[in-house]
Structure 1
Amino acid sequence: MTEKPEKISTIDHLPIRAVMFDLDGTLLDTAPDFVVVVNRLLAEYDRPPLADSTIRRSVSNGARALVELAFGVEPGHPDFEILRTRLLALYGDHLAVHTALFPGLQTLLHALGERQIPWGVATNKPAAYTLPLMEQMDLQPAPQSIICPDHVTERKPHPESLFLAAKHLGCEPEHILYVGDHRRDIECGRQAGAITIAAAYGYIEDGDDVDAWGADYRVDHGQEILPILDTLLR
């Protein structure tokens, strides 16, 4: 039996009118495709592969972090942009081969549809990868807002993404439930005035304390989100 999700905050909130998700590590488990492309890039340079779990923990931090992880080079190194560009090219050809919704998320999306609650995505993943990925995944009910860094001036943790999403979804940011697997997601949500859920099932880096992020709720499995939603709808 799933344990009751932990409520971290004691603050009362306004009723939920919409749900927003971070993408990688929260809504979609994209790590399996990144494991393939990172190790493919390593093979091109005759380097040994990295363990799946090692790559998985860094996926939420994007291509730059994956290049640093795999090759030990930082921005400014003469090979960094070459490696990053090649990694992204490989990923663009391998967007949704092994990617899937996290367990419990399809049930959640179905429940949102039944309750006529719109949902969307606010991600730091560029639109060039987010939009074709979401198109290939063909999630139903379909998202009514997809916010990428291309659509805002300031990326997360700045709250601009959720402010724009609120306009798309026809509600105030305070009526949004935002779920994310990184501290920056929770900071974004809190600054926007949204209700926040820390997705501890996502891509959590070693030594990162999820409970220190300041989220209103913490869940360890995707199926724990729906009971929180139903509580907030009462």
Structure 2
Amino acid sequence: MAPRTDFPPVRACLFDMDGLLLDTEDIYTLCVNLILDKYSRPSLPWSIKAQLQGRPGPSANKIFLDWAQLPISSDEFAAENAALHQKLFPGTKPLPGVPELLTSLVRTQEAGIETPPVHIALATSSHLGNFKLKTNHLSDLFSVFPANRRVVGDDTRLTPGRGKPLPDIFLLALKTINDSLPEGEAPIKPEECLVFEDSVPGVEAGRRAGMRVIWCPHPMLKKEYAGREEEVLAGRTGEAGQVDLHQVGELGDGWAEYLVSLENFPYEKYGMVIPPVKA
């Protein structure tokens, strides 16, 4: 189909965290592979890892454990994995382009009426404890997300079992923005939102929410979906099963785009005006 070109300017950016803002995906892989090696199991292939990314912890763990066939219980695996996370996650770093992107968007909110503000919110499947573990040493970076505009995987405002690839987390993230807009600013519509995701379930969640999407995956995930990029961008890889397919996009509809990194982000393409840095 012909791609849509008459989009309104983006007024809100909604961000995933793991593998999108932070370099956590390789840390996750390292932790899992250390456990697999301990029990003489093969290393985690990207064909399986791709199914884990972006999902809430319980559903991701079930997929992994069904594949891994470890000689330990799920609770024992969780304990060993958590111990490795405690050791390694405090060393997470922002991915290339992330600090510049976030600070640029924040400047739109501080510029006054001459520059339309672009609001931001966080929408991560990580539970609050893991979120803190990964970000406590990056307080300056994450301070751009107001506390009420941070949606985590175990957020009480979310319905249990409705994680990515279902759209709830992004719809809630948008609600947190609309509920706290300055007086007189019109509510933001889904099509005025830009979702930033690295995972395939996350892209599908954004598309199901009726939002535009930037897909910025790990190079190995991109390789795993070689030849299926348009399916990913349309949210049509079937990650959520055969439910509500009318909510996903169409191939080549122009609502989603692949980027190799978040460096030198094309703000103008999305109708965002970034004010210059004040001297």
When normalised by structure 2's length, the TM-score is 0.66
In structure 2, relative to structure 1, the CA distance for the partners of 1:27 and 1:122 (3 Å cut) is same
Match of 1:73 among 64, 69, 75: 69
Alpha-carbon deviations, 1:191-217, whole Å to 9, x = none?
Answer: 212111111346617532333211521
Aligned to 2:230: 211
Q: Does 1:177 align with 2:220?
A: no
SS in structure 2 at match of 1:19: strand
Q: For residues 103 and 130 of structure 1, do their structure 2 counterparts lie closer, same or farther at Cα, with a shift above 3 Å needed?
A: same
Deviation at 1:84, TM superposition (A): 2.7
Is the Cα contact below 8 Å between 1:25 and 1:202 reproduced in 2? no
Q: 1:190 to 1:55 in 2, by over 3 A?
A: closer
Deviations 1:113-144 (CA, angstroms, capped at 9, x unpaired): 22223322212222220233233322155213
User: Could you say which residue in structure 2 is the equivalent of 1:113?
Assistant: 106
TM-score (norm 1): 0.77
1:167 to 1:57, Cα distance in 2 relative to 1, 3 A: closer
Choose the corresponding residue for 1:82, options 61, 76, 79.
76
CA contact (8 A) 1:103 1:222 kept: yes
What stretches of structure 1 of length at least 5 have no aligned partner? 1-7
Query: What is the aligned partner in structure 2 of residue 23 from structure 1?
Result: 17
Q: Deviations over 1:129-165 (max 9, x none)?
A: 0233233322155213221221211111111111111
Q: Do the aligned partners of 2:90 and 2:134 also contact (CA within 8 Å) in 1? A: yes
How many equivalent residue pairs?
Answer: 219
Aligned counterparts of 1:68 and 1:95: Cα–Cα separation in 2: 25
SS at the partner of 1:28? coil
Instruction: Report the CA distance shift for 1:9/1:184 in structure 2 as closer, same or farther (over 3 A).
Output: farther
**Alignment counterpart, residue 217 of structure 2, candidates 200, 208, 230:** 200
How do 1:149-160 residues align onto structure 2 when only pairs under 5 Å count? 149-151=153-155, 152-153=158-159, 154-160=162-168
SS at match of 1:115: helix
Q: What CA distance in whole angstroms lies between the structure 2 residues aligned with 1:49 and 1:204? A: 19
Question: Radius of gyration: which is bigger?
Answer: 2
Residues 103 and 9 of structure 1: is their aligned pair in 2 closer, same or farther, counting only changes over 3 Å? farther
Q: Where does residue 3 of structure 1 map in the other structure?
A: none
- On the 8 A contact 1:38/1:66 being kept in 2, the answer is no
SS in 1 for 2:213: strand
Residue 14 of structure 2 contacts residue 195 of structure 2 at CA under 8 Å; is this kept in 1? Answer: yes
- SS of the equivalent of 2:121 reads strand
Q: What do you get for the CA RMSD once the two structures are aligned?
A: 3.2
Report the 3-state secondary structure (helix = DSSP H, G, I; strand = E; otherwise coil) of the residue aligned with 1:200: coil
How far apart in 2 are the matches of 1:184 and 1:52?
Answer: 18
What is the match of residue 35 of structure 2? Answer: 41
Structure 1 residues 78-122: Cα deviation after superposition (integer angstroms, max 9, x where no partner): 63332133212321343221x211111111112112222332221
Instruction: Report the counterpart of residue 152 of structure 2 in structure 1.
Output: 148
CA pair 55-93 structure 1, distance change in 2 beyond 3 A: farther
2:13 maps to a residue whose letter is V
Stretch moving more, 209-218 or 177-186: 209-218
Partner of 2:182: none
